[in-house]
A = this chain, B = another copy of it.
Amino acid sequence: MSILLKSPVDALSEYVRQSSVSADPNFNAGVKGAREFAQARLEELGFEVNLISTPIHPIILATRGDPSWPRLVIYGHYDVQPPDPLDLWTSDPFDAVERDGRIYGRGAADNKGPQIVHMSALARVFKDIPDYPLHITYLIEGEEEIGSPSFRSFLEEHKEKLSGDMLLVSDTGSPGPDQLVVTTGLRGLCAMEVKVFGPSQDLHSGVHGGALLNPLQALMRVCSSLHDAEGKVAVPGFYDAVQSPEDWERGELAKLPITEAQYSKFLGISEFSPPPGFSALEGIRFCPTLEFNGVGGGYQGEGSKTVIPSEAFAKITCRLVPNQKSEDIAYKVKQAIIDACPSAVRVEVEIKGGGDPYVVIPPGKPGSTGKESELMKKAFSVAQDCIEECFNSEPIFLREGGSIPIIQDLKEVAGLDSLMIGLFTNEDNLHAPDESFHLGMMNRAITAFEKFFRKLV
């Protein structure tokens, strides 16, 4: 019997133990292990599994069912974020320790837990209905956490295999195991790395200090110019294409069962700093950002070292909202950095992967086109029913702050719109130490998705 039927918890644990950090070649064995784990589960479920090679980590493409049936595509990713800072983890990030009703480990919630939910639900359905009348294409990539650099060209090449009626994704968040969100939009992303170069090597700050511009000083001046005093992004043209949220979206947001006081306590901060005119929760879902994800230069060790460093770097990502374009914003930020950099140092800006923001208006909501596929219409309605039944509350329809750039790519290239059902929560610590997945959420979600798949056909 498949481990998915026997014990979804064991399946998740085994998946988490594969340390599939896509950003770091030292984890290549773990990446391979996670990929093989996912392949094996899909084969057990009766999928025909193909591996599509890319310049970095191959994409799993698997199909099941008659091509003439309604076509569902399911997306996930088998790679995870780097685990550091390691010293802040209670248990090893790849030990998959069970504690307090959770499985702890990097990737437990993002995205391995939700994948186990889908697969376990399908395992139950297929056991009853071996000829389950839906053509399902599974698409699980291994480069999501590094910005899916190979995905767009994969998509162009294989788009006919991905044609279908809709996409199902569970790689978004919900308030908790009593309240799910159906995600109606995702922020886009653009990433870049800035390097500032000064003297050809680190210099003694006494022997040379006073003659030249310190690259850290230059970098910090440049970076500081990218926000204004109120915290708004100060890059020329950054907000030009930004659309205001719809009234119904603000209304849905107000249903979120979390107060600002609870949220600030959860974050451990004394006050929020949302963009002017927005609440903290609105800032995340409706506004673009420019964040410094990592900055470094000079002496990083204990004690002091009186150097003027030779170079300094900043890793920057912007989160984008409709109708900003990733390429356009990356270019504007790069230009602002180059314009702000003093001539006494040399600056390099490398634009990394990115993706455009995505919005799907649920069928029937104000603004929907009415042109959705029959499967999509049914899926939204069935999902709402099953969530209400299993989670004892209506889902909230909300855009979210995170990014899955390939969702917009799949819409543009393969014409697929997405039903996104959020299964992880703030308490799951995504991208942070002590990431975990809530087993209560997992069990409810498996039941809900089992019902969903049964009612969908």
User: Could you list which residues of chain A lie within 8 angstroms of chain B, going by C-beta atoms?
Assistant: 23-25, 81-82, 84-85, 88, 146-147, 173, 187, 189, 191, 193, 198-214, 216-217, 219-221, 223-224, 227, 231, 263, 267-275, 278, 280-281, 283-285, 287-289, 291-309, 312, 315, 317, 319, 342-346, 352, 400-403, 426, 429-434
Indicate if the CB atoms of B317 and A275 lie closer than 8 Å: no
Residues of chain B within 8 A (CB-CB) of A223 are 217, 220
Prevailing SS type, chain A contact patch: loop
Q: Pick the contact of A213: B209, B273, B309 (CB < 8 A).
A: B273
**Measured CA separation A268–B23 after assembly (Å):** 33
Using A304-B146, A346-B270 as known contacts, say yes or no to A202 and B294 having CB atoms under 8 A apart. Answer: no
Q: Which residues of B contact A193 (CB under 8 A)?
A: 304
The residue on B at minimum CB distance from A82 is B305
Inter-chain contacts of A263 with B (CB < 8 A): 211
Copies in the complex: 2
Given contacts A217-B227, A305-B82, contact A287 B210 (CB under 8 A): yes
On chain B, the residues within 8 Å of A402 by CB distance are 204, 206-207
In the complex, chain B residues whose CB is within 8 Å of the CB of A214: 291-292
* Chain B residues whose CB sits within 8 angstroms of the CB of A213 once the complex forms: 231, 273
Q: Nearest chain-B residue to A213 (Cβ)?
A: B273
The reply to whether A275 and B431 contact each other, CB–CB distance below 8 Å, is: no
CB distance from A394 to the nearest CB of B (A): 22
Q: Chain B residues near A272: list those with CB within 8 A.
A: 211-212, 344
Instruction: Please tell me which one of the listed residues B198, B291, B297, B319 contacts residue A295 in the complex, with CB atoms under 8 A apart.
Output: B297
Q: What B residues does A317 contact at CB under 8 A?
A: 205, 304, 306
Q: Could you tell me the distance between the alpha carbons of A431 and B204 in the complex, rounded to whole angstroms?
A: 5
Considering only CB atoms, which chain B residue lies closest to A287 in the complex?
B210
Considering the chains assembled together, what is the distance between the CA atoms of A431 and B431 in angstroms? Answer: 37
| Given A23-B303, A221-B227, 13 additional A-B pairs, CB 8 A | A189-B206, A208-B401, A209-B319, A210-B275, A211-B267, A216-B294, A217-B227, A219-B295, A271-B343, A293-B309, A294-B298, A304-B315, A307-B432
